[in-house]
A and B are shown apart, each in its own frame.
Chain A
Amino acid sequence: MSVNVRIPTILRTYTGGQAEVTAEGATLAEVIADLEKNHTGIAARVLDDQGKLRRFVNVYVNDDDVRFEQGLETATPDGAGVSIIPAVAGG
């Protein structure tokens, strides 16, 4: 499964400045693991010490907030768009 991942500005130091990269994986957890293989250090920014999504990170698979789905186990179908977005916006 290949998905397109949108990278927020504060993580682009790990992707050589790229705003969008491709990654492999059938679930969000697998996608993040694959991102880490190609962009070392990025997983530790997105996940906390227990391997859970940090509380100030929002991740969307297509238009769905993964917190409303299965979190890191949310399925990432072939061609899906994954967006990683800082949560501390708005209000």
Chain B
Amino acid sequence: MAVHSDASTTNSVDLGAAAALSCRECGHQVPLGPVFACEECFGPLEIAYDFSSYETEELRKQIEAGPSSIWRYAPLLPVPADVADKPNINPGWTQLVKADNLARELGVTGGLYVKDDSGNPTHSFKDRVVAQAIEAARAFGFTTLSCSSTGNLAGAVGAAAARAGFRSCVFIPHDLEQGKVVMAAVYGGELVGIEGNYDDVNRFCSELIGDPAGEGWGFVNVNLRPYYAEGSKTLAYEICEQLGWQLPDQLVVPIASGSQLTKIDKGLQELIKLGLVEDKPYKIFGAQAEGCSPVSVAFKAGHDVVRPQKPDTIAKSLAIGNPADGPYVLDIARRTGGAVEDVTDPQIVEAIKLLARTEGIFAETAGGVTVGVTKKLLENGVLDPSLTTVVLNTGDGLKTLDAVAGTGLTATIRPNLDSFREAGLAS
């Protein structure tokens, strides 16, 4: 069954079904290569695939017989067919937790699930995207991996580079959470703090890439971004397969650059076109912190462009004030009938504790944002409690311990039963 073919340019790089790069804005196509912006209009370049040889049931069987990692979806990704045999961090196939306790607390009756990506090798969803970038870096002959990062990506690049034998040199804002700094530095690559916020770091990397000082470097989220970003599609694939090859009705996804939400939508659309799931409506909701809410503000104002903000929030992994894919998030939220909402820092902390207390999942601040926004959207009647809803937790709470710093001992007692009883702890 021919299902999808939108590429007209071919070349000799072996990245599976990836056939060309296509501008999301104007459709201009160029051969696969380490480029990320359209030479015509500066729009983002995306992978165009040739899936025309795939037969639905054969593909489904191949996926189900595949490894317990994102590589089960290798035919749908820009990677060579033997990707699972190469040194990589092999992320994915994380738990889709049926969150019945949280559902009861929030009044959700249609089924509430948490896609818990803290289970990845470096404890965030970033392993999914970096695993793609590693394969592109290999294909294009890079030996140094780099990135701008709010922390999670730095760790993922450091780990993947160590496993795959690349040098790494990554750039982060100088004032990140200590847990993220240690988790990025421990893999032995170079870690550079930039005096500025994430948008300053990102700008620096964008300039470095055009300078001889950065020549020959593969920046996973700059010149390798078209390949890297495809890794987020695997969240959509896994959620649907884990639901028994069903689309969820509602998804709540955090927004930093907006790339993840955009690619989750792309993944869902591909599954529909491939016939792997039944074509039915779904709604995608975006979640931001109030202290960095450029997309939420634009959504509520009815704008189709995003005015950048200066971030000020504890959700540092989402603190991108100038989100590259913001306009596409607005398009997708509106097209699917979803929304974009934000929550305050105290609401984020409350949501982290709510998820931990009800489901035993310790989320980082970004997970607090999605759970907090889910609660708010239910209270406001925007999310339908009678529908199947999936909420993303994209990282591990151990990385952002400061956010819940007040949480600690219930009591300190002497080592005897009287003291235990006096503390009011006896059953």
- A contact set with B: CB distance below 8 Å: 6-10, 13, 19, 45-46, 54-58, 60, 63, 65, 67-68, 83, 85-91
Chain B residues within 8 Å of chain A by Cβ, number = 43
In the complex, which residue of chain B has the Cβ closest to the Cβ of A67?
A: B308
Residue of A with least CB distance to B24? A88
A sample of 15 more A-B contacts (CB under 8 A), given A57-B42, A90-B222, A91-B257, is A10-B38, A46-B42, A54-B42, A63-B200, A85-B203, A85-B207, A86-B206, A87-B322, A88-B37, A89-B202, A89-B206, A89-B225, A90-B198, A91-B221, A91-B258
Tell whether A88 pairs with B205 under 8 Å between CB atoms, given A9-B210, A67-B308: no
B contact residues around A55 at 8 Å (CB): 305, 327
Looking at A45, A56, A63, A68, the one whose CB has the most chain B CB atoms below 10 A away is A56
* 18 A-B residue pairs with CB within 8 Å: A7-B210, A8-B206, A8-B210, A45-B41, A54-B41, A56-B41, A56-B44, A56-B324, A58-B206, A63-B200, A65-B322, A85-B207, A87-B324, A88-B45, A88-B324, A89-B206, A90-B205, A90-B222
Asked whether A85 lies within 8 Å of B322 as measured between CB atoms, the reply is no
A67-B37 contact given A87-B322, A90-B324, A91-B323, CB 8 Å threshold: no
Closest Cβ neighbor of B211 among chain A residues: A19
The chain B residue with its CB closest to the CB of A7 is B210
Shortest A83–chain B CB gap in Å is 6
Q: Of B37, B199, B211, B219, which contacts A56 at CB under 8 A?
A: B37
Are the CB atoms of A58 and B207 closer together than 8 Å?
no
Inter-chain contacts of A60 with B (CB < 8 A): 203
Is there contact, CB below 8 Å, between B324 and A91?
Answer: yes
In the assembled complex, how far is the CB of residue A40 from the closest CB belonging to chain B, in whole angstroms? 16
Chain A residues whose C-beta falls within 8 Å of the C-beta of B219 in the assembled complex: 89
B256 to chain A, nearest CB (A): 6
Interface residue? B209 (CB, 8 A): yes
A66 to B355, CA, bound (A): 41
Smallest Cβ-Cβ distance to B37: which chain A residue: A86
Contacts of B90 in A (CB 8 A): none
